[in-house]
Chains A and B, each alone.
Chain A
Amino acid sequence: MPSSGHYSQSALRLQSRGAALLLALVFMLMLAMIAATVMQTAILQLRMAGNDQFLEEVLQTAQAIADELSLDADNFPLSGQVGDINCPQHLENPECTRTQLQIPESADTTESVVLQYRVTRREPLVWNGFPIREAQSAVSSSSSFDAALFEIDVRIDGSAARLGSAHVIQGIVVRVPAID
């Protein structure tokens, strides 16, 4: 008899321990579900912030490339026609009239991000009396100068890597002595 009583007692203890485990598991599940939702929100936030950061970076990179190209006068040859396209060195593309652009130091992007830049001559061939903005100290009569117009076009496209893209166009005015 005592042996059977002992057996039943331990069975009871076993049963009650099982209920606690079950209850704990249910609560854990609820907490885990909440934690999973928080994680999901956080991961989504991280991705969105990352994409924003990429967009900002490529925009700044594109701007830097345009600025760097604009510093070298050789990138804007005055010989040639409206619509002439100056491409980066060693680029084979039938659209290009020249391939003389120095590769800018800022042109450092990761793989799967496509970077394209070019300089296009814009109309008119010579703009007579272009109003040139000058510092007060260096002011001169704009009528004694003509201008040639160029456009730097920089595109960075990360859509192959499911990232954003940037497109910057910067106009360049090259001052040329007036021919009267």
Chain B
Amino acid sequence: MSRSAARYPAVALVGGLTLVELLVSLALGVLLSAGMVSAYLGAKRNLFYEDQIARMQENGRYAMRLLSRELAMSGFYGGLPAGTRALPVPVSADCSAGNWALDSSQPMDLVNDYAGQSPPMSVHLVTLTCLDHSAIAPETDLLALKRTAADASLDHGVPAANMSASTVERWYLRADSDNRPEWVKLRAADLYDPGNTLPSLSYWEAVSKVFFVRAYANDKDDGIPSLCMETLAGAAMTSRCLVEGVENLQLEFGIDADDDGVPNQYTAAPTATEMQQTVAVRIHLLLRSISKLTGHHDDKSYHLGQKVLAARGDAYLRRVLSATVLLRNHTAAGG
């Protein structure tokens, strides 16, 4: 304690801080709070990152499950073997000429690496005119799948338990044990008619879908790539988008050339004959985060099976998901 401290105790208390002390303490304080703020910002960035990854993975899982199920079920026509199936009839806003939607002869079709500009042409030489081709993302695969619902809406005269008496017209496969099966357009309420609740009759709802990747989700300018489908909803084909953040879809077909049920090779560009011999399909999905990530630079290239996508160099996060699906219903007896 100096003499002044003894004389003016109040001054001594405040005057403990010299300019140097003040500057040092200020500098230390700034350093400390900068550290804390950066820790906070880091944690916040981490939260955003985790959130984007979680969304992306959730979308990816959903898209994968959807496509796997659709592929595994494709070619299922109420358990009827090929050769005993219904003849196709016209559907409004059909995807192609020749009553495409209800034609059961080729339940799976592919457009490999859509080139853009013109309506997509499939491996089975079907031109898919129902799609707005300007919206399809180029260099992606289009997958067309056809089948009936997994459960009968009316099973041997008994309506399904959870079926609503909907008045919307839909297409059904009528399987009649006495006559050749046929496609009929009905309201679900009609299935309760006494003429339909016969033990010889079963009705299976028709399912026809074309999966494709679109460059936008809702508005043309939102820039969110999405997995969409053109589907037989009600009595006509309509467009619906299902999963946001799917940037690319690539498929590889496991071809069983020697008829033993095991694929001999996988190809991304099968011929029409090879499509018929397909017993398994590999799905590759490229997922992209919905929002950009500040400070992130995506300089990776991505391998979707045999296809390599060059690095985009933007601020989005990306992930590749792959799965292999056995086509249990594709090659039915006699097919």
A residues touching B (Cβ–Cβ < 8 Å)?
1-2, 4-5, 8-9, 12, 23-24, 27, 30-31, 34-35, 37-38, 41-42, 44-45, 48-49, 52, 55, 63, 123-124, 130-133, 135-136, 151, 169-171, 173
Contacts and interface: CB of A to CB of B under 8 A. Distances in A.
Interface string B56-68: 0110010001000
6 residue pairs, one from A and one from B, having the closest CB atoms: A131-B334, A34-B43, A5-B9, A133-B333, A27-B36, A41-B54
Contacts of A5: 1, 5, 9, 12-13
Interface string B268-284: 00000000000000000
The main secondary structure of chain A at its interface with chain B is: helix
A151 B80 CA distance: 12
B98 interface: no
18 contacts: A1-B6, A2-B1, A2-B6, A5-B9, A27-B40, A31-B40, A34-B43, A35-B43, A38-B47, A42-B50, A45-B58, A48-B58, A49-B57, A49-B61, A52-B61, A123-B177, A131-B82, A135-B259
A130 B33 CA distance: 82
Interface of B: 1, 5-6, 9, 12-13, 16, 33, 36, 39-40, 43-44, 46-47, 50-51, 54, 57-58, 61, 65, 79, 81-83, 177, 259-260, 328, 331, 333-335
A4 B54 CA distance: 61
Contacts of B13: 5, 8-9, 12
Contacts of A37: 47
A131 B5 contact: no
Contact of A30 (B9, B40, B331): B40
B326 to A, nearest CB: 8
Contacts of A49: 57, 61
A24 B36 CA distance: 9
Contacts of A42: 50, 54
Given A31-B40, A37-B47, A124 B333 contact: no
Contacts of A44: 54
B46 A38 contact: yes
Nearest to A168: B328
Contacts of A8: 13
Contacts of A151: 79
A135 B82 CA distance: 17
A35 B40 CA distance: 10
A35 B259 CA distance: 55
Given A23-B33, A30-B40, A31-B40, 7 more contacts: A5-B1, A9-B13, A27-B39, A42-B50, A130-B333, A133-B331, A169-B79
B39 A31 contact: yes
Given A34-B47, A45-B54, A131 B83 contact: yes
Task: Give the most central of B43, B82, B83, B331: most A CB within 10 Å.
Answer: B43
A132 B328 CA distance: 17
A69 to B, nearest CB: 15
Nearest to A131: B334
Contacts of A30: 40
A173 to B, nearest CB: 6
Contact of B50 (A23, A41, A123, A135): A41
A131 B177 CA distance: 17
B16, B33, B81, B334 interface centre (most CB from chain A within 10 Å): B81
A2 B2 CA distance: 11
Given A42-B50, A52-B61, A34 B44 contact: yes
Contacts of B50: 38, 41-42
Contacts of B6: 1-2
Contacts of A31: 39-40, 43
A136 B83 CA distance: 19
